[in-house]
Chains A and B, each alone.
Chain A
Amino acid sequence: DIVMTQSPDSLAVSLGERATINCKSSQSVLSGSNNKNSLAWYQQKPGQSPKLLIYWSSTRESGVPDRFSGSGSGTDFTLTITSLQAEDVAVYYCQQYHSAPITFGQGTRLEIK
């Protein structure tokens, strides 16, 4: 199984500042068939279902604000939120869908400082 490890476990950032969440996979999630990284980021606000933010490691889902961006390749990935807004308070998860079983990171809790 591919193990996904996020860092940090929790993060407090001031409004308007940048938040950076890291995700490391135990093996590469780069697909040889399409040369894309099978890595997604989800946002889960309190009491809500997860929401897809980023897929293929850097493609923003329709309707997601452009302050959210994803980067990385192979085994190391980053979710960046520029200019943090109050509504961004949530737990963020990375997910690999390169191979079964699909696995998620443990989550990173983002709060306002």
Chain B
Amino acid sequence: EVQLVESGGGLVQPGGSLRLSCAASGFTFSSHWMHWVRQAPGKGLVWVSRITSDGSSTIYADSVKGRFTISRDNAKNTLHLQMNSLRAEDTALYYCARVGSGSSNDLWGRGTLVTVSS
């Protein structure tokens, strides 16, 4: 089955760190660019970061630049998001999403919830 499954979310104190993972299966992971997109409770979709298929190029939203790092392990079909210096405003459901042939996000995971609170 073609799917993305996120993990690693949880409750963390402000200033803390978390590492999210996204396990891909059912398709050739190494052929696809990947994104992280987040959604605060009751709010809209916000793009976070993108990585190319070979991991050589990454870009970030200004709100997370310098704090978050996207990476991938194509041998393990896994995408990661290392999140440091977390803030209350980072609280959200974090989705990983595949970039398809139409350059848009054609496959999404179910998301993993990150809550930043003391």
Given contacts A52-B104, A52-B106, A93-B44, contact A101 B61 (CB under 8 A): yes
B58 shortest CB reach to chain A, Å: 11
Once the chains bind, are A100 and B44 in contact (CB under 8 Å)? no
Residues of A37-73 whose CB lies within 8 A of B = 38, 40, 42, 44, 49-52, 55-56, 59, 61
Once the chains bind, are B108 and A50 in contact (CB under 8 Å)? yes
Q: Quick check: which of A18-26, A76-84, A102-110 contacts chain B, the rest being far away?
A: A102-110
Q: Give the distance in Å from the alpha carbon of A107 to the alpha carbon of B44 in the complex.
A: 6
B83 shortest CB reach to chain A, Å: 17
Contact code string B28-64 (vs A, CB < 8 Å = 1, else 0)? 0000000101000000111100100000000101100
| Residue in chain A with minimal CB distance to B95 | A49
Hey, which chain A residues are within 8 Å of B104, CB to CB? 40, 52, 55, 95, 97
Hey, which chain B residues are within 8 Å of A61, CB to CB? 102, 106
B79 shortest CB reach to chain A, Å: 15
B9 shortest CB reach to chain A, Å: 14
A-B CB pair tally, cutoff 8 Å: 59
Hey, which chain B residues are within 8 Å of A42, CB to CB? 45, 105
A40 shortest CB reach to chain B, Å: 4
Contact code string A87-98 (vs B, CB < 8 Å = 1, else 0)? 000010101010
B103 at the A interface (CB under 8 A): yes
B82 shortest CB reach to chain A, Å: 19
Once the chains bind, are A102 and B35 in contact (CB under 8 Å)? yes
Q: Chain A: residues with CB nearer than 8 A to chain B?
A: 38, 40, 42, 44, 49-52, 55-56, 59, 61, 91, 93, 95, 97, 100-107
User: Assuming A56-B103, A95-B105, what are 20 further A-B pairs, CB within 8 angstroms?
Assistant: A40-B102, A40-B104, A42-B45, A49-B108, A49-B111, A50-B105, A50-B108, A51-B108, A52-B106, A55-B102, A56-B102, A91-B44, A93-B44, A95-B45, A97-B103, A100-B50, A101-B59, A105-B44, A106-B44, A107-B44
